[in-house]
Every structure is written in C-alpha cells, then in structure tokens.
A and B are shown apart, each in its own frame.
Chain A
Amino acid sequence: MTTAKRTEQDVLQALTDEERALLKRVLQIERARLHVRAADLTDDLLGAVREILP
C-alpha cells in the first residue's frame, strides 16, 4: 500500500473529503495537546469523527 516515492500530498489527494478533514482535525487535536502527555484524547478524537460523520 505504500511506496517510498509517494509524497505527503499524494497521500492526501488519495483521501476522500471526510478522510482529509478527519486527518487534519486529528493532527490539530494532537498538536494542541502535545504538552499534556497523560491526556486521554479518545473522547476528543471520537468527537471529531462524529462531527465529520454525524
């Protein structure tokens, strides 16, 4: 499924709009809470999934 030649943009373009939106949201959530190592982000991430696929 992966080839070394593919770029990050190639990966993104192969995603659907929902997938791209979720990927972006997930990284935003993770980045915002990087400093809290003990944080359990499952609920936040689940919330993001439900927002995108209500």
Chain B
Amino acid sequence: MRIHAIKLTNFRQFIGEQTFELRSDSLKPVSLIFGANGAGKTTLLNAFTWALYGSMSDDVEKQDRMVTDIVWRSLPIGGSTALAVELTFDHEGHDYRLRRHAELRKQSDEQHRPAPEIHLWETKADGSSEPVGAPQERIFSILPRSVSRFFFFNGERIEKLVQKGAYSEVQQDIKALLDLEQVERAIEHLPKVDRRLTADLKKHGGEKATEIQTAIDEMQELEASNHEERKRLEDDLVTLAEERDRVTEFLRQHASAAPIQKQRDSVAEELDKARTARDEAIMERASLIASRGFLAFTDELAAKTADMAKALYQKGTLPAPLKREFVDQLLDDGKCICGTSLAEHTDSWEHVKAWRQRAGLQAVETAWQQLSGQIAPIAGARQEFSESLQAIVRRIATERERVERLEESKSELDGQLRDSRMEDVQKLEGKRIELDGRIGVKQQRIGSVKTALERVEKDITHKTVERSKAEVTDELAAKARARSDLVQSVLRALQEILRIRSEDMRSRLDAELKEVFAKITFKRYIPRLSEGFELALYQDVNGVELAVAKSTGENQILSLSFVAAVSKLAREIRKDRRVEGELPDDAGTYPIVMDAAFGSLDENYQREVSRALAQMAPQLVVLVSKSQGLGHVVSELMPYVSHMGVIVTHTTAEGDSSEEIELEGIAHPYICASAEADHAELKVIK
C-alpha cells in the first residue's frame, strides 16, 4: 500500500476541501508536515484511519464534532453539508480511490455523530473506475485494522506496543501481516472439503471402505476437538502467565518497599505514643490549673492579708486576749472580775457589754491565727505551682514538636509507598504459588493434548493408508478416495508450513529488531522477541544476561525499532520463494504515518530514529511541531523528503501570536492570528 494523496472535506478543523499529495518513491519516501500544538497533526493522522476504518483514536476529543465548527455554525437549520476524507493509493499493482463520506443535515447547533458511507473504486489503466464490492472487507484485507497500529501511530503513545500484556495481541496482528492468515484459513477450510469427498466414499465405497472412513471421521472429530482444547488451554495459559507476572511484579514492589514500610510502621507507632504523651500532658495541665490555678492569683492577696492583719493588730482592733465567750460568762454570772455586780441595764452591765462587742470570737481568732500561719506557705505553694505548670508546658511543647516531626516523617514515607501496592506478602506468595500450580497443570494438559494430537494424526495417516488399500469397486468412490488422500496430504503439508513460517517469521523479526535497535541506541542493550512474542531488553553484565527495566524512552525506541523491523520484514518475507507463487513487487509495502513522531526522545535518539525510519520505511509521513521537527530531524530527513507542508493554524486570538516557520531558507506562515474563525489550512510547501 502506497498512499498517493489525501483529501479532506470539512474534516474537523480542516475547513472546506484540502488536498495533500503524498506520492513518493524509494529514493525520497518521506513527507514532512509541520504544525503547531493543536494545529491538527493528530487530526490529520486520524483522517487516515477514519477513511480506512471509520474510527479515530481515543485521544481525539469531541468526536461528535466532525464538521469544521465555523462551517456548522454558519449552516442554517435544515441545511446540510458534506464531511469526507478521500485517500488514493495503490496496492499490489492496483490503484484505488477510497472515500468515506457523510452528508450531515443540521437540526440543531449540536452536531450528531455521523454515519458515514464507504466507497472504494479500483482505477483501471485506462482511467476508468470500477466500484469494489465489500469495500470495507477489501480494506481489511489490504491492511487489517489491528495491524494498522504499526503504521498509523502517535509517537508519544507507541511504547504501549511493547508493554506487558500486549504481546499476545501483537502476535495475532503480526500473523495477519506476515502472510500466515491464508494458510490458517486453508487449514480451517480443507477438512470441510474432505468431509464432502468422503461422504461419497462412504456412500459408494462398500462395507470395508465405509468402515474405515467412519473410523477416520471419528478420529478427525477427535483431532478437531483436541485442536480446540489446545487453543483454549494455550489462551488460558497466556492469561495465567500474565496474572503471575503481575503478582510477581507486586511482590517485587513489595520487596523494594518493605524497608520503607517497616520504617513507616515504626514511625506510626512512635507517632501514636507521642500523640498520647502530648494529650496526657495537656490533660495534666488542665487538672493542675483546675485544682491549683487559684494560686496564681494569691501573690498580692497574701501580702495584703498580712498587711491588713498586721494593721488591725497594731490598731488593737483585734483584742487578741479578750474573748467574747469570757464577756458573755461575766454578763451571765452578773458579776465582773473586779467584784462589781452586773445587773442588767446598769452602767456597769452596759460598760461590760460594750466590751463584748469589742471582743473576738474564739473561732475567728483561731481562723486568723491559722490564716496568718498559712500566708507564708501560700507563697511557697504558688512558687511550686508555677514550676509545675512550666514543666508541663515544656512537656507539651516537646511532645507537640515530636508529633509534628513524626507526622512529617510519616507523610514522607507514605508518599514513597503510595505507588506500590501493599498487599499481604503471604497472600501474594500464596497466589503466586497457586498460579504456578495452575500453570503447571495447564502445561501438563497441553502436553497431553499435543501427544494425543500426534497420536491421532498418526492414526489418521495409518487409517488413510489402510483406506487406500481397501478394495473399492465403485469408480466414484475410488475417485473420492483419491481426492480425499490428496486433500489430507495437502492439509498436513499446510500445517507444517504454518509451523515453519511462524517460527521463521519470529526468528527473522527478532534478528531484524536486534539490528535496528543496535543502530539507534547507544546503550549495549539487546532486544529479544521470545517465542511467546514478548519483547524484552537484556544487558550483558560480565557474561550474565540481565533483564533491563525499560524507561519510557527505551520503550519508545524499542517500539519504533519493532515497527521499522515489521515494516521491513513484511516486504522481505513476501519476496521469498513461496508456494503461493510470485507476488507483486510492492507486496507487504505499507506507509508509516507518525504523529508526534519522536515522542519525548533525546536529540541524539531523534536523529537515529529519523535515519532508521527514513531508510527502512517504504513511505513515511512525519507530523511534527516546529520545536520537534527542526534541527536534527530535518537535517536527517531532508535528503529523503519528497513532500513538505505546514498545517497553518488560523486563530481568532488577537495580538502578537502570529508565527512563521523557516524551511529551506524561506519563511512560511505557521500561526496566523486575528482570523475570522479558528481553522487549519494544509499548506503545501514542496
């Protein structure tokens, strides 16, 4: 498949009809298209896949808004407009024109997801066109949808191609790409042919031949069910192996996180203690204040009381020796201590009674005595309270600081643990052991099914030989038997060819991948494509091969190397001498269309990847921004460039946001500000 041109009609931001020529040759296979961020590079990439398959990648937002916004806005309600992408290309000696098209009628301002129609025409040498029936199926046969991800991709996302779990899918895709599908289908279809033939044999072949054929039929049924079971078991095995890989990864994460986890547990325990100690200290302070807090206010009170008592004594207001009870006794006795009678209301009685008012109570005196005795200790108690309070406040401050410090430590450790899934190690180990066990059982079962298959294959061969020797008098039956023998032989040969091709394809892809990867990277890593199609990187450390933990960048390089290797092998494998006979020169040729082509690769990798792709891809369309594309990329690609263009951003933004891009010494518009409407223009430069 070689793309000649793409034509967009009101496709997303590409207003009106816009065409870009892409026809190139092996000397200059590259088309280079520049565009600012948001200009429409991803949209252009998706225009290819939309035309081919009617779908766009998940990273395209607002997939309902397929028609250019300004076109839709200016369309009156009830009016209609066209949306289309047209691709012209050739494939294996045939020229094609593919058009996916929808006529959208405006019913409201909101756009509705279009239901496009696909048309495919084959263009004849005389220029006439002939529509292709089942156009989508033809496209699928030219480039299966699953395989298209190797050829139409976003460089920033391509590392997903080599992530864990992707390989079984990749294996299927590659099989479809590298000419194994027709063999698989033939293996699927030939038994049906054989059954039709042997039906004649059973009908007319006589007793013996019929008996043998019935036995063969039964064996073939057993063979088919064994094949199905093997496939099911192998699928199960892939699932189990992936699950085990995940569990192993968790365990690995757990092992690396274990010391941090231990530290975190210890910090958490200490933090609990610190919080308890802080809270206890706060409670103690509260209790101290509640019970002895009044002492804080006794400083002046004690002094004042002492002064007041002193003053009262000095004034004689407190007649300390004379007690009221003594005066009352004199009054009750009616006789003073001097012998004077104290009759009521006499002068003497009134005189003594007046002393009663001046005399103190015993209790009051005692209280005064006690109080004055306590004034001195109050100062001591106050001092003691002050010291206790200060000590508790210091303790609270210390515990608070400790809590804060431990909270910070715990927070830091939690952050380190956040990305690692903390599960119980024993549980994980148990799961791994269980999975190992289940995998072992599946492998054993696959082994026995394989043995059973080999046995039944031998039995069928044996019975087929027996059948060929059986006496068959009927001419039709004899013919049917000969034809069935022929079909059986071809079926066995195809099964062997499939096995040979699969392994040959994998080993060649592995070799190609190693070569491409070595050209690009400066690290001494070795990629390997395992029998299960798992891509891994290894490093030779003193003669020991160790798996390399790949970074995003390395995954991107590995993926790009894989794409380049697949692209090269798809072409080469079809040039081999094959039973299918000669294939067209361009068989296995596919374009590579890359958005954000070099992802986040360093400059030196950008240069090497550019060089490798330009040399290996039969047709390469690179969509890049100015910052990514200028410099090493342009200098590497320029000798191979046949077409160059710019997706010019027309923006309604005011001001000084216009920009130009200089290509081969000439400045071209890159961003044009103050436009009437936001849209993109695909400008041809070369």
Do B182 and A34 have beta carbons less than 8 Å apart? yes
Give min CB distance, A45 to chain B, whole Å: 5
Flag whether B571 is at the interface (Cβ < 8 A).
Answer: no
Instruction: Scan B467-486; emit 1 where CB is below 8 A from any A CB, else 0.
Output: 00000000000010011001
Residues of chain A in range 36-54 having any CB-CB distance to chain B below 8 Å: 36-37, 41-42, 45-46, 49-50, 52-53
Flag whether B196 is at the interface (Cβ < 8 A).
Answer: yes
- Given A8-B578, A23-B490, answer yes or no on A30-B189 (Cβ-Cβ < 8 Å): yes
Flag whether B422 is at the interface (Cβ < 8 A).
Answer: no
Instruction: Scan B171-203; emit 1 where CB is below 8 A from any A CB, else 0.
Output: 000000000011101100110110011000000
Once the chains are docked, how many angstroms separate the CA of A15 from the CA of B493? 8
Once the chains are docked, how many angstroms separate the CA of A27 from the CA of B498? 12
- Given A30-B182, A34-B181, A35-B140, answer yes or no on A8-B482 (Cβ-Cβ < 8 Å): no
Do B134 and A36 have beta carbons less than 8 Å apart? yes
Do A30 and B186 have beta carbons less than 8 Å apart? yes
- Given A18-B486, A49-B193, A53-B482, answer yes or no on A11-B182 (Cβ-Cβ < 8 Å): no
Once the chains are docked, how many angstroms separate the CA of A12 from the CA of B496? 10
Do A28 and B190 have beta carbons less than 8 Å apart? no
Once the chains are docked, how many angstroms separate the CA of A28 from the CA of B185? 12
Do B192 and A11 have beta carbons less than 8 Å apart? no
Name the segment of B152-160, B302-310, B499-507 touching the other chain: B499-507
Instruction: Scan B568-597; emit 1 where CB is below 8 A from any A CB, else 0.
Output: 000000000111110000000000000000
Measured between beta carbons, the chain B residues less than 8 angstroms from A31 are 182, 580
- Given A7-B500, A35-B138, answer yes or no on A24-B181 (Cβ-Cβ < 8 Å): no
Give min CB distance, B125 to chain A, whole Å: 20
Q: Which residue of B137, B190, B487, B496 contacts A36 across the interface (Cβ within 8 Å)? A: B137
Give min CB distance, A17 to chain B, whole Å: 11
- Range, interface on chain B: 35 or more
Do B487 and A22 have beta carbons less than 8 Å apart? yes
- Given A1-B496, A52-B486, A53-B483, answer yes or no on A42-B189 (Cβ-Cβ < 8 Å): yes
Do A42 and B486 have beta carbons less than 8 Å apart? no
Do A27 and B192 have beta carbons less than 8 Å apart? no
Measured between beta carbons, the chain B residues less than 8 angstroms from A49 are 193, 197, 483, 486-487
Measured between beta carbons, the chain B residues less than 8 angstroms from A14 are 493
Do B483 and A50 have beta carbons less than 8 Å apart? yes
Do B457 and A45 have beta carbons less than 8 Å apart? no
Among A4, A11, A12, A23, find the residue whose CB has the most chain B CB atoms closer than 10 A: A23
Measured between beta carbons, the chain B residues less than 8 angstroms from A34 are 141, 181-182, 185
Once the chains are docked, how many angstroms separate the CA of A46 from the CA of B80? 51
Measured between beta carbons, the chain B residues less than 8 angstroms from A20 are 579
Flag whether B497 is at the interface (Cβ < 8 A).
Answer: yes
Do A23 and B493 have beta carbons less than 8 Å apart? yes
Do A27 and B182 have beta carbons less than 8 Å apart? yes
Do A19 and B493 have beta carbons less than 8 Å apart? yes
Do B500 and A22 have beta carbons less than 8 Å apart? no
Do A46 and B580 have beta carbons less than 8 Å apart? no
Do B486 and A9 have beta carbons less than 8 Å apart? no
Do B579 and A8 have beta carbons less than 8 Å apart? yes
Flag whether B108 is at the interface (Cβ < 8 A).
Answer: no
Flag whether B492 is at the interface (Cβ < 8 A).
Answer: yes
Do A42 and B193 have beta carbons less than 8 Å apart? yes
Measured between beta carbons, the chain A residues less than 8 angstroms from B486 are 18-19, 22, 49, 52-53
Measured between beta carbons, the chain A residues less than 8 angstroms from B457 are 1
Name which residue of chain B comes closest to A19, CB basis.
B489
Do B496 and A35 have beta carbons less than 8 Å apart? no
Do A28 and B496 have beta carbons less than 8 Å apart? no
Give min CB distance, B174 to chain A, whole Å: 16
Q: Which residue of B197, B482, B496 contacts A11 across the interface (Cβ within 8 Å)? A: B496
Do A26 and B483 have beta carbons less than 8 Å apart? no
Do B499 and A2 have beta carbons less than 8 Å apart? yes
Interface residues of A (CB under 8 A from B): 1-2, 4, 6-9, 11-12, 14-16, 18-20, 22-24, 26-28, 30-31, 34-37, 41-42, 45-46, 49-50, 52-53
New contact pairs (8) apart from A42-B192, A45-B186, A49-B486, CB-CB < 8 Å: A1-B461, A11-B497, A18-B486, A24-B580, A26-B186, A26-B190, A41-B185, A41-B189
Please give me the 9 A-B residue pairs with the lowest Cβ-Cβ distance, nearest first. Answer: A35-B141, A30-B182, A35-B137, A34-B141, A31-B182, A35-B138, A45-B193, A27-B580, A42-B192
